[in-house]
């Protein structure tokens, strides 16, 4: 029992982590303490949200809305539901074991299996960074007329500097700021265009498969449920080392993390849906086919005004810069994990992973002839790799050897396997459609 004369307050330690402290000068305030306790456990969900409102999402969402109107909104809804469960499961691994997915693979998979698993994940990180860096470069071109190559170099350097000079806490603040800017931007866009809300509501919850839409459906799925985000969420959550702070703290974190995750994923769902709504209302209603993001911005200008076009570009730039940082961060975590090491920018493995991710993406961008198609195909590549990540995650979080008493329940296993089966089936359809 705590003495009635003491009040629990929250202070930051040298690492920026909030901790309890007793302050006898303050009267008891249970409600305030409870609120601050919740705040202690949130943050990682919002950190990874930017990963699925990135430029790759912009490309696939613009294509979905421009080509099929409101009919593919359901893909964002389905993907977000899947994402909540999967991201929660990835965070669950980090909280209970203190390991990210890559570290878990390095420790509990055979050397060959771990190498193949990590290898495909690294390729997915490069594909992700390709979309992020390219998107920011396109945003810079829209705003300042910079060549794509120059913008890509600037973005890559920005991401490297952010990772090498900032702590998790500072990065969280930057990322949350970027997400807020993107959200406000699309609220503005929705306010100045005419949405057919009855069709939009139907599109959100009733699956439709228009002719020729499977590639776009797979692109949207790959843009929302992203392999690198699962790796990153488990990395960010385990960096706080809750598993070392005792049973009570682990239980609280498991409880509050789900609130953090579901809130952050809903924010992402709203922004992704808003992108499709804008494209459906502005482009599909006028029969305009969007083949590049620059065209989308140029078309917005005469239809809804200069302000909307500038805000569109600013939001794209913010999305590209923020997601370039998280993509490179995921690459560093994945490669370090192969050697059972956590993300640490002073470690050569982490630096190599960051370098491979950003440099690999930059090289591809410099040889791309069609940036918009590059964005679309990068998202499809992520979707093809995704089953590997999901099955690996299921294995780790269902194993009592790995998780102990926190291993997945039977219901959780069934849910996860159903999602893995859906993704795999869609991949088979995509391959058949491509052939």
User: Residue 222, Cα to own-chain centre: how many angstroms?
Assistant: 11
Give 365's contacts (C-beta < 8 A, 6+ positions apart).
Answer: 130, 133, 134, 137, 148, 149, 152, 371, 374
Q: What is the mean pLDDT of residues 92-121?
A: 93
> In this predicted model, what pLDDT tens digit does every residue of 24-66 receive, in sequence order?
333 444 444 555 555 555 567 777 888 888 887 888 899 999 9
Bridge partners (DSSP) listed for residue 7: 23
DSSP state string for 369-389: S-HHHHHHHHHHHHHHHHHHH
Contact status, residue 228 vs residue 125, Cβ threshold 8 Å: yes
pLDDT at 283: 94
The phi and psi torsions of 423 (rounded to 5 degrees) equal: -65, -45
User: In CATH, what number is assigned to the domain containing residue 359?
Assistant: 1.10.4160.10
Q: How confident is the model at residue 430 (pLDDT cuts 50, 70, 90)?
A: low
SS3 assignment, position 291: coil
pLDDT of residue 56: 78
**pLDDT at res. 433:** 66
Q: Identify the three-state secondary structure at position 22.
A: strand
Q: How many domains does the chain have?
A: 1
Three-state secondary-structure class, residue 50: helix
The pLDDT of residue 42 is 59
Instruction: Count Cα neighbours of 303 within 13 Å in the Cβ-side half-sphere.
Output: 20
More confident residue, 378 or 233: 233
Of the listed ranges 211-225, 334-348, 385-399, the least confidently predicted one is 211-225
Lowest-confidence region among 122-126, 213-217, 389-393: 213-217
- Segment 406-430 shows an average pLDDT of 86
**What's the rounded Cα separation, in Å, for the pair 258 and 317?**
30
| Residue 17 covered by a domain | no
pLDDT of residue 242: 54
> Strand, helix or coil at 18?
strand
What is the spatial distance between Cα 282 and Cα 296, in angstroms, rounded to a whole number? 9
For residue 241, pLDDT beyond 80: no
Q: What is the mean pLDDT of residues 263-285?
A: 94
Strand partners, 404: none
The arithmetic mean of pLDDT across residues 315-344, rounded, is: 92
Cross-strand bridge partners of residue 18: 12
Whether 260 shows a pLDDT value over 80: the answer reads yes
Is pLDDT above 90 for 152?
Answer: yes
66 compared with 290, residue with greater pLDDT:
66
Statement: residue 77 has pLDDT above 60: yes
- Decide if 321 contacts 175 (C-beta within 8 A): no
Q: Which of 9-13, 144-148, 169-173 has the lowest mean pLDDT?
A: 9-13
Transcribe 221-267 into DSSP letters. HHHHS-HHHHHHHHHHHHTT-GGGS-HHHHHHHHHHHHHHHHHHHHH
Whether residue 369 is predicted with pLDDT greater than 60 in this model: the reply is yes
Q: Is 20 strand, coil or helix?
A: strand
Asked which of 118-132, 168-182, 385-399 is least confident by mean pLDDT, the reply is 168-182
Residue 122 has pLDDT above 50, yes or no: yes
pLDDT tier, 298 (very low <50, low <70, confident <90, very high otherwise): confident
Residues 6 or more apart whose Cβ sits within 8 Å of residue 295 = none
Q: Which two tokens stand for residue 2?
A: 């705590």
Question: Per the domain annotation, does 142 fall within a domain?
Answer: yes
User: What's the confidence (pLDDT) of residue 10?
Assistant: 34
Question: What percentage of the chain reaches a pLDDT higher than 70?
Answer: 85
Mean pLDDT computed over 77-84: 92
DSSP single-letter state for residue 286 = G
Q: Is residue 37 part of a domain?
A: no
β partners of residue 11: 19
Residue-wise pLDDT tens digits, 180-207: 899 999 999 999 899 999 999 999 999 9
Query: Does residue 355 sit within a domain?
Result: yes
pLDDT of 34 reads: 54
Ranked by mean pLDDT, which of 1-5, 233-237, 328-332 comes out on top? 328-332
**Is residue 313 a part of any domain in this protein?**
yes
Residue 52 φ then ψ, to 5°: -115, 25
Burial class (CB in 10 A: 0-12, 13-18, 19+), 325: buried
Q: pLDDT at position 210, please?
A: 94
In a domain, 33, yes or no: no
* Tokens standing for residue 208: 């439709």
- Using pLDDT thresholds of 50, 70 and 90, give the confidence band for residue 313: very high
Chain-wide mean pLDDT for the chain? 84
Residue 4 falls within a domain, yes or no? no
In the predicted model, is pLDDT for residue 13 greater than 60?
no
> Who contacts 255 (Cβ-Cβ below 8 Å, separation ≥6)?
none
Question: Cα–Cα distance between 83 and 93 in angstroms, integer?
Answer: 15
Q: Does residue 28 sit within a domain?
A: no
Q: Are 178 and 318 in contact (CB under 8 A)?
A: yes
Cα gap 365→127, rounded to integer Å: 10
For residue 427, the enclosing domain spans 42-434
What pLDDT, on the 0 to 100 scale, is given for residue 37?
Answer: 56
Say if residue 222's pLDDT is above 80.
Answer: no
Residue 373 is predicted with a pLDDT of 74
Tell the burial category of 388 from Cβ atoms under 10 Å away from its Cβ (0-12, 13-18, 19+).
Answer: middle
Instruction: Single out the residue of 147, 146, 148 nearest to residue 134, CA to CA.
Output: 148
């Amino acid at each position: 029992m705590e003495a009635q004369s003491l009040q629990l307050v929250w202070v930051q330690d040298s690492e920026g982590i909030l901790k309890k402290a007793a302050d006898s000068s303050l009267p008891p305030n249970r409600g305030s303490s409870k609120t601050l306790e919740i705040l202690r456990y949130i943050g990682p969900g919002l950190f990874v949200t930017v990963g699925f409102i990135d430029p790759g999402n912009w490309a696939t969402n613009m294509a979905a809305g421009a080509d099929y109107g409101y009919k593919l909104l359901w893909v964002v809804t389905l993907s977000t539901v899947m994402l909540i469960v999967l991201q929660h499961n990835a965070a669950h691994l980090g909280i209970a074991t203190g390991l990210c997915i890559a570290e878990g693979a390095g420790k509990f998979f055979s050397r060959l299996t771990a190498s193949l698993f990590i290898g495909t994940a690294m390729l997915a990180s490069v594909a992700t960074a390709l979309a992020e860096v390219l998107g920011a470069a396109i945003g810079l071109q829209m705003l300042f007329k910079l060549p794509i190559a120059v913008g890509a170099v600037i973005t890559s350097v920005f991401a490297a500097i952010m990772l090498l000079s900032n702590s998790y806490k500072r990065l969280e603040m930057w990322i949350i700021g970027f997400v807020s800017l993107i959200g406000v931007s699309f609220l503005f866009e929705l306010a100045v265009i005419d949405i057919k809300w009855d069709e939009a509501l139907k599109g959100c919850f009733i699956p439709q498969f228009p002719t020729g839409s499977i590639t776009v459906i797979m692109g949207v799925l790959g843009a929302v449920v992203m392999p690198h985000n699962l790796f990153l969420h488990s990395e960010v959550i385990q960096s706080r080392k809750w598993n070392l702070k005792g049973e009570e703290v682990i239980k609280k974190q498991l409880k509050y993390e789900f609130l953090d995750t579901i809130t952050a994923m809903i924010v992402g769902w709203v922004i992704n849906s808003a992108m499709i709504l804008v494209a459906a209302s502005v482009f599909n209603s006028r029969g305009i086919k969007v083949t590049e993001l620059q065209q989308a911005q140029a078309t917005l200008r005469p239809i809804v005004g200069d302000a909307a076009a500038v805000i569109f570009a600013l939001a794209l730039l913010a999305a590209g810069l923020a997601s370039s940082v998280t993509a490179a961060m995921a690459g560093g975590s994945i490669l370090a994990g192969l050697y059972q090491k956590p993300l640490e920018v002073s470690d050569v493995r982490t630096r190599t992973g960051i370098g491979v991710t950003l440099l690999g993406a930059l090289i591809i961008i410099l040889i791309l002839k069609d940036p918009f198609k590059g964005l679309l195909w990068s998202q499809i590549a992520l979707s093809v790799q995704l089953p590997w990540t999901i099955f690996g995650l299921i294995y780790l979080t269902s194993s009592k050897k790995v998780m102990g008493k926190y291993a997945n329940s039977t219901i959780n296993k069934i849910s996860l396997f159903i999602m893995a089966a859906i993704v795999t089936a869609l991949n088979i359809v995509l391959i058949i459609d491509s052939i």
